[in-house]
Protein backbone atom coordinates (compact mmCIF):
# COMPACT_ATOMS: atom_id res chain seq x y z
CA UNK A 1 0.00 0.00 0.00
CA UNK A 2 1.35 3.42 -0.94
CA UNK A 3 1.86 5.63 2.09
CA UNK A 4 -0.41 8.66 1.78
CA UNK A 5 -0.16 11.75 3.93
CA UNK A 6 -3.85 11.44 4.79
CA UNK A 7 -5.53 14.80 5.31
CA UNK A 8 -7.84 15.54 8.25
CA UNK A 9 -11.46 14.54 7.67
CA UNK A 10 -12.85 18.08 7.93
CA UNK A 11 -10.38 19.30 5.33
CA UNK A 12 -11.32 16.50 2.94
CA UNK A 13 -15.02 17.21 3.45
CA UNK A 14 -14.46 20.81 2.38
CA UNK A 15 -12.38 19.68 -0.61
CA UNK A 16 -15.08 17.29 -1.78
CA UNK A 17 -17.67 20.07 -1.59
CA UNK A 18 -15.36 22.51 -3.41
CA UNK A 19 -14.48 20.17 -6.27
CA UNK A 20 -18.13 19.12 -6.56
CA UNK A 21 -19.08 22.76 -7.06
CA UNK A 22 -16.36 23.22 -9.67
CA UNK A 23 -17.58 20.21 -11.63
CA UNK A 24 -21.07 21.65 -11.48
CA UNK A 25 -19.92 25.02 -12.78
CA UNK A 26 -18.13 23.32 -15.67
CA UNK A 27 -21.37 21.55 -16.61
CA UNK A 28 -19.89 18.13 -15.92
CA UNK A 29 -22.54 17.04 -13.37
CA UNK A 30 -26.01 18.05 -14.60
CA UNK A 31 -28.89 17.36 -12.26
CA UNK A 32 -27.75 14.98 -9.54
CA UNK A 33 -25.26 13.06 -11.70
CA UNK A 34 -21.64 12.36 -10.87
CA UNK A 35 -19.85 11.36 -7.69
CA UNK A 36 -16.49 11.86 -5.99
CA UNK A 37 -14.54 10.01 -3.33
CA UNK A 38 -11.28 10.28 -1.42
CA UNK A 39 -9.35 7.99 0.93
CA UNK A 40 -9.74 8.89 4.60
CA UNK A 41 -7.28 6.17 5.56
CA UNK A 42 -6.45 2.62 4.52
CA UNK A 43 -9.87 1.31 5.52
CA UNK A 44 -12.36 4.12 4.84
CA UNK A 45 -13.50 6.41 2.03
CA UNK A 46 -15.24 9.78 2.18
CA UNK A 47 -17.85 9.91 -0.62
CA UNK A 48 -20.45 12.27 -2.04
CA UNK A 49 -24.01 11.03 -1.34
CA UNK A 50 -26.58 9.94 -3.89
CA UNK A 51 -29.42 12.07 -5.21
CA UNK A 52 -27.92 15.53 -4.63
CA UNK A 53 -26.74 18.29 -6.95
CA UNK A 54 -22.96 18.51 -6.81
CA UNK A 55 -23.27 22.29 -7.02
CA UNK A 56 -25.22 22.38 -3.75
CA UNK A 57 -23.29 19.89 -1.63
CA UNK A 58 -22.05 20.91 1.81
CA UNK A 59 -19.18 19.37 3.77
CA UNK A 60 -21.66 17.86 6.21
CA UNK A 61 -23.48 15.97 3.41
CA UNK A 62 -20.58 13.56 2.77
CA UNK A 63 -20.76 9.95 3.91
CA UNK A 64 -18.08 7.55 5.11
CA UNK A 65 -17.96 3.99 3.78
CA UNK A 66 -15.71 0.98 4.27
CA UNK A 67 -13.70 -0.61 1.49
CA UNK A 68 -16.71 -2.77 0.59
CA UNK A 69 -19.06 0.19 0.20
CA UNK A 70 -20.85 -0.28 3.52
CA UNK A 71 -22.09 2.92 5.17
CA UNK A 72 -20.19 3.72 8.36
CA UNK A 73 -21.16 7.33 9.03
CA UNK A 74 -23.51 9.91 7.56
CA UNK A 75 -27.19 10.75 7.39
CA UNK A 76 -27.50 10.36 3.63
CA UNK A 77 -27.34 7.33 1.34
CA UNK A 78 -24.19 6.13 -0.40
CA UNK A 79 -24.00 6.69 -4.15
CA UNK A 80 -25.28 3.71 -6.13
CA UNK A 81 -22.08 3.90 -8.18
CA UNK A 82 -19.74 3.20 -5.27
CA UNK A 83 -18.60 -0.07 -6.88
CA UNK A 84 -16.94 1.98 -9.63
CA UNK A 85 -14.81 3.77 -7.05
CA UNK A 86 -14.00 0.58 -5.16
CA UNK A 87 -12.85 -1.13 -8.37
CA UNK A 88 -10.24 1.59 -8.79
CA UNK A 89 -9.09 1.70 -5.15
CA UNK A 90 -8.73 -2.07 -4.91
CA UNK A 91 -6.53 -2.20 -8.02
CA UNK A 92 -4.55 1.02 -7.67
CA UNK A 93 -2.79 1.43 -4.34
CA UNK A 94 -1.39 4.73 -5.64
CA UNK A 95 -4.86 6.28 -6.04
CA UNK A 96 -6.17 8.54 -3.31
CA UNK A 97 -9.22 10.02 -5.05
CA UNK A 98 -11.75 9.16 -7.77
CA UNK A 99 -13.99 11.48 -9.80
CA UNK A 100 -16.90 10.37 -11.98
CA UNK A 101 -18.76 12.92 -14.09
CA UNK A 102 -20.40 13.52 -17.45
CA UNK A 103 -18.37 16.14 -19.35
CA UNK A 104 -20.48 16.66 -22.49
CA UNK A 105 -17.97 16.29 -25.31
CA UNK A 106 -16.07 13.37 -23.77
CA UNK A 107 -19.40 11.73 -22.98
CA UNK A 108 -20.43 12.23 -26.62
CA UNK A 109 -17.31 10.30 -27.66
CA UNK A 110 -18.31 7.55 -25.22
CA UNK A 111 -21.83 7.54 -26.69
CA UNK A 112 -20.37 7.23 -30.18
CA UNK A 113 -18.26 4.21 -29.28
CA UNK A 114 -15.02 6.17 -29.68
CA UNK A 115 -12.05 6.18 -27.34
CA UNK A 116 -9.70 9.15 -27.13
CA UNK A 117 -6.84 7.16 -28.60
CA UNK A 118 -5.44 9.51 -31.25
CA UNK A 119 -2.41 11.51 -30.13
CA UNK A 120 -3.39 14.74 -31.84
CA UNK A 121 -1.57 17.17 -29.58
CA UNK A 122 1.51 17.09 -27.40
CA UNK A 123 -0.56 17.61 -24.26
CA UNK A 124 -2.32 14.30 -24.83
CA UNK A 125 1.00 12.44 -24.66
CA UNK A 126 2.38 14.49 -21.77
CA UNK A 127 -0.70 14.09 -19.59
CA UNK A 128 -3.07 11.14 -19.98
CA UNK A 129 -1.99 9.31 -23.11
CA UNK A 130 -4.75 7.07 -24.47
CA UNK A 131 -8.11 7.36 -22.73
CA UNK A 132 -9.77 3.99 -23.43
CA UNK A 133 -13.45 3.18 -23.81
CA UNK A 134 -14.95 0.70 -21.34
CA UNK A 135 -17.75 -1.55 -22.59
CA UNK A 136 -21.39 -0.72 -21.89
CA UNK A 137 -22.73 -1.46 -18.41
CA UNK A 138 -25.96 -0.53 -16.65
CA UNK A 139 -25.42 2.27 -14.16
CA UNK A 140 -25.68 1.35 -10.49
CA UNK A 141 -24.79 -2.31 -11.08
CA UNK A 142 -21.61 -4.32 -10.52
CA UNK A 143 -21.34 -4.52 -14.32
CA UNK A 144 -19.92 -0.98 -14.26
CA UNK A 145 -16.97 -1.97 -12.09
CA UNK A 146 -16.38 -5.09 -14.18
CA UNK A 147 -16.31 -3.02 -17.38
CA UNK A 148 -13.60 -0.77 -15.95
CA UNK A 149 -11.31 -3.50 -14.61
CA UNK A 150 -9.44 -4.24 -17.89
CA UNK A 151 -8.40 -0.57 -18.15
CA UNK A 152 -7.71 0.55 -14.57
CA UNK A 153 -4.07 -0.49 -14.24
CA UNK A 154 -2.80 1.05 -17.45
CA UNK A 155 -4.73 4.33 -17.47
CA UNK A 156 -5.70 7.26 -15.24
CA UNK A 157 -8.99 8.08 -16.98
CA UNK A 158 -11.58 5.93 -18.75
CA UNK A 159 -14.53 6.72 -21.01
CA UNK A 160 -17.62 4.69 -20.14
CA UNK A 161 -19.78 3.67 -23.09
CA UNK A 162 -23.07 5.62 -23.22
CA UNK A 163 -22.40 6.93 -19.72
CA UNK A 164 -19.56 9.32 -18.84
CA UNK A 165 -15.99 9.41 -17.58
CA UNK A 166 -14.05 8.28 -14.52
CA UNK A 167 -10.65 9.70 -13.58
CA UNK A 168 -8.41 9.09 -10.60
CA UNK A 169 -5.19 10.26 -9.03
CA UNK A 170 -3.17 10.67 -5.87
CA UNK A 171 -5.29 13.60 -4.67
CA UNK A 172 -8.66 15.16 -5.43
CA UNK A 173 -6.87 17.95 -7.26
CA UNK A 174 -5.06 15.39 -9.41
CA UNK A 175 -8.25 13.46 -10.23
CA UNK A 176 -10.14 16.69 -10.99
CA UNK A 177 -7.43 18.00 -13.31
CA UNK A 178 -7.43 14.72 -15.21
CA UNK A 179 -11.19 14.96 -15.68
CA UNK A 180 -10.80 18.51 -16.97
CA UNK A 181 -8.04 17.36 -19.32
CA UNK A 182 -10.18 14.53 -20.73
CA UNK A 183 -12.83 17.04 -21.76
CA UNK A 184 -10.19 19.34 -23.26
CA UNK A 185 -8.70 16.51 -25.33
CA UNK A 186 -12.17 15.47 -26.48
CA UNK A 187 -12.90 19.02 -27.63
CA UNK A 188 -9.59 19.20 -29.53
CA UNK A 189 -10.32 15.86 -31.22
CA UNK A 190 -13.85 16.90 -32.14
CA UNK A 191 -12.84 20.21 -33.70
CA UNK A 192 -9.81 18.71 -35.48
CA UNK A 193 -12.05 16.15 -37.18
CA UNK A 194 -14.71 18.77 -37.95
CA UNK A 195 -12.02 20.77 -39.72
CA UNK A 196 -11.33 17.65 -41.74
CA UNK A 197 -7.56 17.70 -41.42
CA UNK A 198 -6.70 16.01 -38.13
CA UNK A 199 -3.01 15.10 -38.12
CA UNK A 200 -2.00 12.66 -35.36
CA UNK A 201 1.57 12.81 -34.07
CA UNK A 202 4.04 10.46 -35.73
CA UNK A 203 5.39 7.48 -33.78
CA UNK A 204 8.82 9.11 -33.46
CA UNK A 205 7.25 12.32 -32.16
CA UNK A 206 5.27 10.39 -29.55
CA UNK A 207 8.43 8.59 -28.42
CA UNK A 208 10.24 11.92 -28.05
CA UNK A 209 7.38 13.26 -25.94
CA UNK A 210 7.43 10.13 -23.77
CA UNK A 211 11.13 10.77 -23.14
CA UNK A 212 10.41 14.42 -22.33
CA UNK A 213 7.65 13.39 -19.93
CA UNK A 214 9.99 10.94 -18.18
CA UNK A 215 12.56 13.71 -17.72
CA UNK A 216 9.89 16.06 -16.39
CA UNK A 217 8.62 13.52 -13.86
CA UNK A 218 12.16 12.69 -12.79
CA UNK A 219 13.03 16.35 -12.28
CA UNK A 220 9.75 16.97 -10.49
CA UNK A 221 10.52 14.05 -8.17
CA UNK A 222 13.96 15.45 -7.39
CA UNK A 223 12.49 18.89 -6.73
CA UNK A 224 9.93 17.36 -4.38
CA UNK A 225 12.63 15.47 -2.48
CA UNK A 226 14.62 18.69 -2.04
CA UNK A 227 11.53 20.52 -0.84
CA UNK A 228 10.66 17.75 1.64
CA UNK A 229 14.26 17.70 2.92
CA UNK A 230 14.11 21.46 3.44
CA UNK A 231 10.86 21.12 5.39
CA UNK A 232 12.45 18.47 7.61
CA UNK A 233 15.41 20.78 8.27
CA UNK A 234 13.05 23.66 9.07
CA UNK A 235 11.10 21.53 11.53
CA UNK A 236 14.35 20.33 13.13
CA UNK A 237 15.47 23.94 13.49
CA UNK A 238 12.22 24.82 15.20
CA UNK A 239 12.62 21.93 17.62
CA UNK A 240 16.17 23.03 18.47
Largest CA distance in the chain: 66
Helix, strand, coil % over all residues of the chain, rounded to 5: 50, 15, 35
Measured distance between the N- and C-terminal CA atoms of the chain, rounded to whole angstroms? 34
H-run or E-run covering 36: strand 35-39
What stretches of 27-141 show up as alpha helix (H) in DSSP?
Answer: 82-91, 104-111, 122-126
Concerning whether 81 is annotated as a catalytic residue, the answer is yes
Q: Could you say which of 3, 10, 15, 81 is catalytic?
A: 81
H-run or E-run covering 160: strand 157-160
DSSP state of 116: B
Taking a C-beta distance cutoff of 8 angstroms, is the pair 122, 213 a contact? Answer: no
Catalytically active residues, by annotation: 81
Amino acid sequence: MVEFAFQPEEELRRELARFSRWLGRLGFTPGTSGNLSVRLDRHRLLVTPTGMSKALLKASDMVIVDMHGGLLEGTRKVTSEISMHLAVYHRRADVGAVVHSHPPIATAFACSGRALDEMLCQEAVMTLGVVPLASYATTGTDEVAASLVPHILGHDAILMANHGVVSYGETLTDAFLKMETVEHLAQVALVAHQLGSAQPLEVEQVEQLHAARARYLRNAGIAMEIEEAAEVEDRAGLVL
